[in-house]
Amino acid sequence: MTLSLVQELTSLLGTSNVLYRAEDLTLYEYDGSVEKARPDAVVFPRTTEDVSRIVRLAAKHQVPIVGRGAGTGLSGGALARTGGLMLVFARMNRILEIDIANRRAVVQPGVVNLDITRAVEHMGLYFAPDPSSQKACTIGGNVSENSGGPHTLASGVTVNHVTALEMVLPDGEVVRIGSRHGDSTGYDLCGLFVGSEGTLALVTEITVKLTRKAEAVKTLLAIFDRVDDASQTVVEITARGITPAACEMVDGWTLCAIEDYIHAGFPRDSAAILLIEMEGLFEGTERQAAAIEEVCRFYGAREVRVAKDTKERDLLWKGRKNAFGALGRLAPSNYVLDGVIPRSKLPIALRRIQEIGKKYGFSIGNIFHAGDGNLHPIVLYDPRDESALERAIVASEEIIRHCVELGGALTGEHGIGMEKSELMPLLFSDADLDLMKRVHDAFNPDSSLNPGKIFPLSKGCGEIRVKGSNAARESRK
Amino acid sequence: MSATTHIGARLETALGNSRVVLHDEELREYAVDGVMPGAIVRPAYAAEVGELVRFAASEGLSAIASGSRSKLNLGMPPTRYDIAVDMRGIQQVAHYDAGDMTLSVDAGLSLRALEKVLSDKGQFLPLAVPCYETSTIGGAVASGIDSALRQQYGNVRDFLIGAEFIDGTGNLCKSGGRVVKNVSGYDLHKLLVGSLGTLGIITRLNFRTFPLPQVFAGFYASFTDAAQALAYRSSLEDRGLPLANVELLNPVAVALASQLLEKSNHALPLGGDPSRWLVFVSYEGSDALVERILRELHSLAREANAVESGKLSTAVDAHLGGVLREAFDWLRWSAPQVVLFRIALPQIPAVVFTKLQAIASDAGLRVVLLVRAAGIVYAAVLAEQEHLASIDRLSKVAEEVFPFVNEKKGSAILLHAPQTLKQRINVWGTKRDDYHLMKRVKLAFDSQGVFSPGRFVGGL
């Protein structure tokens, strides 16, 4: 990156909004994944106009740009894979409008997910997508990744809650798509841009739906002595057509770590728990809870507890949502995977994950969204052992391949990013990828936005199918 | 040799003569807004659609895919129409895992046939679209037409989890998958919803399915004016009741719906007062839930000063639900000349109705108003005569309604308009600022303009 670009950026944004010294950039070479890549400079825009001007400047200097929210992403989506300029939205963090009559909020991308709920909860409303990182992650990042969370089983993921976007295209043009109503004429552009991982445009303003809080919430904790019983319970709940608001599974090994850290009241001696929540009218939740409890007991739950009050419910969720942090007490580092399978294949998948763990010498924990088949195996490793990360990556690829073999997909909510770009050919044909690339090039023809993401770096997809693992490892060096 | 014969002969060479139809009588049945195709192709496999599209692209021909052809007149007339692709021969259930509640089905399967497959397992797909008896699943998705169950289950984009389709190069492409949560790659299948076949020819669709509810029920409340009816409708939303459908009808709509109900020997319990506004609510669930919702509906109706209200008999509920599901179909034929607006607004104050009625009344025309799920307004303006003066009047109405909706920060399109009117006005309404982005999408999918040219927004 040229000195003149840094000077121009500083003159545009002020010295406090531009970082370029190596020691300042170190913080931005990581996100929540195991990937690592350092940007050449970091800028903090405050307005859409800032973003547009930065993008024009970068284009003039032919420097790539990657957008970033809080950096909590788990697939390397917000890393500067090829260097260049990182555009951090942390200072575009204002809630611009709350429209109670229409149940909409208009927010800047740097607003923290949970802050939207905090701003409207006194009016009985909330923002439904609730990633585990919701206390830190930003709505802009959620839009880029089409984030989910435990409660998206019934209420849907980010794309189901976004009705309009303001965006800056790679040439600096500011455009708006969608509408406040959410029913605009023409192609469903919001459906395309949400989840496009910052590869098509930089999102600068988001209109989100606000959801009314349910009249009744009932939270069950079902405790099992065998992982298989817990997973069969999930299969049966799905097969009976019961859709709770959330259905989470945590295995026994992870439970102990959570208990040591959070003291959420999880049993230390169980093989697995299901945390199941029902929302809606009182009559509906009572019936659902009774049906679910029946299934849990049929499949050998040794105990089914109902959270007595909000305090107890909040504590259970605190345990679930802080589980990844709790695992930090067991090993210096962990690698959180994200695969998705048909829900009926849950028992097979969990058994296979354990086999793969044994094969590569890892204990693999499982904390995941069982209700929608979204697995999050967690590989604990010590980064000081150089071969450990290498083995963790190979193990993770084997797990993801297994998900695809079962009829699943590469990622349920973390995104492809740079973590899984080389695995895309497992799921998509050359023709599929060619069309996606044409759509990419229609908006980002020079790959100046978030280069090296989603699409395999290798040239021929046939080659990738053979060399997938090697290419993936190579990309991490 | 005529141009049609020429295309036909080349198609027969490329695809085999058993797949190609060239009879004039049949060609007329595939006309879109009066424009006839040069040939009809009836593929039996997705691969044949791919071959057809490659052929069309290489020869510079255009193709319009169809199912039952019940909604082929949506959008503008095609600027070119060489090949009609009848997809009804591709109609397998490719994968149905009832235990997993996911489904993968070919585009040409009819909704009725699909309903049978799913109901055998106690499940269904919440796609209650008009022309239900004949519609195919591919047509229902490509048309993007409103489902009467949208209030509870959302738009089709909310439960469509993947798709396979032929792109403009003739390649079979896919996006999404068969799992209920998936962020692998771009969600291209969402773009296909409501695209009128302008991006590709859908060959297969994947959905999440839903359990059939135990109990269905219907409720009505009638009001003396629009403001009261709208207030009642709002109170239902504010109470957060899980309702399958809510529809609000103006007196003209009530009269038309009543006539249709009478055909099946049913009647609305409205006492014959022709000036009432009606709110119809359908809801479902367990016995206990349905009872609770009924109590709330009664209580809110009393608070909103409903003239009459009550639970509908099962038979009337089912028939009225069916009539309202089919609203798009009967509204467009409810007078000799009709324009049917679909209007989405951030809010619907009663003055919107007053204005729409005034615009129609100034032109000497009647207007049927329905507020449908998710606050979508259907406004059908009826001209009782089929002469040119009616077209002039309908044209004047459209010229006033589009800017009015725009001013209210909403969007309006015409779901139906007479062919002669489409020569004067654009059914897609006011040009959108994001049109140039849509054009980029279109070019990425179909750079040679093979699919349905000219029918979509901005002439795409």
DSSP B78: P
- Supply the CATH number for residue B75's domain: 3.30.43.10
Q: Is residue B435 situated within a structural domain?
A: no
- Point out the residues of chain A with pLDDT beneath 70: 1, 459-477
What's the pLDDT at A468?
A: 35
One domain for residues B318 and B351: no
Contact B289 A427 (CB under 8 A): no
Q: Which residues of A touch B437 (CB under 8 A)?
A: 175, 177, 189, 443
What's the pLDDT at A64?
A: 97
Q: Which residues of A touch B372 (CB under 8 A)?
A: none
Contact B444 A145 (CB under 8 A): no
CA within 13 Å, CB half, B19: 24
One domain for residues B306 and B349: no
Closest CA to B244 of B140, B348, B374: B374
Q: Which residues of B touch A243 (CB under 8 A)?
A: 211
User: A92 CB near a chain B CB, below 8 Å?
Assistant: no
Q: In this structure, which topology does domain A3-90 adopt according to CATH?
A: 3.30.43
State residue B217 phi and psi, 5-degree precision. -150, 160
One domain for residues B195 and B235: no
Token reading at B191: 């773009």
SS3 B40: strand
User: B191 CB near a chain A CB, below 8 Å?
Assistant: yes
One domain for residues B98 and B36: no
CATH architecture observed for domain A333-476: 2-Layer Sandwich (3.30)
One domain for residues B175 and B242: no
CA–CA separation, A294 vs A288, rounded Å? 10
| Domain finish residue from B325, B340, B364 | B325
Contact B181 A152 (CB under 8 A): yes
CA within 13 Å, CB half, B442: 25
User: A239 CB near a chain B CB, below 8 Å?
Assistant: yes
CA within 13 Å, CB half, A160: 25
CA–CA separation, A367 vs A221, rounded Å? 14
Type of residue found at A217: V
List own/partner pairs for B372-375 with CB under 8 A and 24 or more apart: B372/B146, B372/B148, B372/B150, B372/B247, B372/B327, B373/B146, B373/B147, B373/B148, B373/B149, B373/B150, B373/B151, B373/B245, B373/B246, B373/B247, B374/A182, B374/A183, B374/B150, B374/B151, B374/B155, B375/A181, B375/B344, B375/B345, B375/B347, B375/B348
Task: For A99, name the nearest residue in chain B, comparing CA atoms only.
Answer: B346
Spell out the per-residue pLDDT of chain B, length 460, in tens: 455 557 888 888 888 878 899 899 999 999 999 999 999 999 999 999 999 999 999 999 999 999 999 999 999 999 999 999 999 999 999 999 999 999 999 999 999 999 999 999 999 999 999 999 999 999 999 999 999 999 999 999 999 999 999 999 999 999 999 999 999 999 999 999 999 999 999 999 999 999 999 899 999 999 999 999 999 999 999 998 999 999 999 999 999 999 999 998 998 887 778 899 999 999 999 899 999 999 999 999 999 999 999 999 999 999 999 999 999 999 999 999 999 999 999 889 899 999 999 999 999 999 999 999 888 999 999 998 888 889 999 999 999 999 999 999 999 999 999 999 999 999 999 888 899 999 999 999 999 999 999 999 999 9
CA–CA separation, A459 vs A451, rounded Å? 15
In whole angstroms, how large is the CA radius of gyration of chain B?
23
CA–CA separation, B154 vs A203, rounded Å? 25
What's the pLDDT at A330?
A: 83
In whole angstroms, how large is the CA radius of gyration of chain A?
22
Task: For A456, name the nearest residue in chain B, comparing CA atoms only.
Answer: B185
Selecting from A179, A238, A435 the residue whose C-beta is nearest the C-beta of B99 gives: A238
Q: Is residue B120 situated within a structural domain?
A: yes
Closest CA to A88 of A143, A146, A19: A19
Token reading at B114: 């699909």
pTM for the model stands at 0.95
One domain for residues B357 and B406: yes
What's the pLDDT at A142?
A: 98
Report yes or no: A331 and A380 within 8 Å, Cβ to Cβ.
yes
Residue with tokens 């809010």: B347
Residue with tokens 């050359």: A430
User: B343 CB near a chain A CB, below 8 Å?
Assistant: no
Type of residue found at A63: V
Task: For A407, name the nearest residue in chain B, comparing CA atoms only.
Answer: B178
Task: For B447, name the nearest residue in chain A, comparing CA atoms only.
Answer: A438
Domain count, chain B: 4
CA–CA separation, A189 vs B147, rounded Å? 20
For chain B positions 98-137, those within 8 Å of chain A (CB to CB) are 98-102, 122-123
Token reading at B314: 């099962």
What's the pLDDT at A334?
A: 87
For chain A positions 112-131, those within 8 Å of chain B (CB to CB) are none
User: B286 CB near a chain A CB, below 8 Å?
Assistant: yes
| Domain finish residue from B264, B294, B325 | B325
One domain for residues B57 and B105: no
Residue with tokens 């094969």: A359
One domain for residues B108 and B69: no
CA–CA separation, B205 vs A381, rounded Å? 41
In sequence order, the β-bridge partners of residue B215 are: B285
Complex confidence, ipTM: 0.96
- Supply the CATH number for residue B136's domain: 3.30.465.10
| Domain finish residue from B88, B116, B147 | B88
Q: Is residue B427 situated within a structural domain?
A: no
Q: In this structure, which topology does domain A95-212 adopt according to CATH?
A: 3.30.465
Q: Fold match between A216-327 and A333-476?
A: yes
Q: Is residue B439 situated within a structural domain?
A: no
User: Strands (DSSP E) along A117-173, which ranges?
Assistant: 125-126, 162-168
CA–CA separation, A351 vs A228, rounded Å? 8
Q: How does DSSP assign B339-399, residue by residue?
A: EEEEEE-S---HHHHHHHHHHHHHTT-EEEEEE-GGGEEEEEEEES--SHHHHHHHHHHHH
Chain B: closest CA distance from residue A329 (Å): 30
Provide the residue ranges of all domains of chain A, joining segments of one domain with +.
3-90, 95-212, 216-327, 333-476
Report yes or no: B150 and B373 within 8 Å, Cβ to Cβ.
yes
Contact A185 B241 (CB under 8 A): no
Q: Which residues of A touch B445 (CB under 8 A)?
A: 435, 438-439
One domain for residues B185 and B224: no
In sequence order, the β-bridge partners of residue A165 are: A177, A206
Residue B262 CB burial class (10 angstroms; 0-12, 13-18, ≥19): exposed
SS3 B319: helix
What's the pLDDT at A475?
A: 42
Contact A427 B177 (CB under 8 A): yes
CA distances (Å), origin A38, targets A31, A35, A60, A76, B329: 11, 10, 21, 12, 59
One domain for residues B309 and B224: yes
Q: Is residue B438 situated within a structural domain?
A: no
- Supply the CATH number for residue B271's domain: 3.30.70.3450
Q: Give the domain extent around B199.
A: 92-211
> How many helices and strands, by DSSP H and E, does chain A display?
17, 20
Contact A369 B375 (CB under 8 A): no
Q: Is residue B190 situated within a structural domain?
A: yes
CA–CA separation, A377 vs B397, rounded Å? 60
Report yes or no: A385 and A335 within 8 Å, Cβ to Cβ.
no
Q: Which sign, positive or negative, has the C-alpha torsion B52, B57, B59, B61? A: positive
- What does the buried/exposed string (b/e) look like for B325-337 if buried means 16 or more CB atoms within 10 Å of the residue's CB? bbbbbbbbebbeb
Mutation to test the B interface, candidates A181, A185, A203, most B Cβ within 10 Å: A185
Closest CA to B185 of A35, A97, A233, A437: A437
CA–CA separation, B282 vs B321, rounded Å? 8
Selecting from A160, A241, A436 the residue whose C-beta is nearest the C-beta of B158 gives: A160
Q: Which residues of B touch A432 (CB under 8 A)?
A: 173-175, 185
Q: How does DSSP assign B433-454, residue by residue?
A: TTHHHHHHHHHHH-TT--BSTT
Q: In this structure, which topology does domain A216-327 adopt according to CATH?
A: Alpha-Beta Plaits (3.30.70)
DSSP A186: S
One domain for residues B73 and B111: no
One domain for residues B84 and B96: no
Contact B157 A189 (CB under 8 A): no
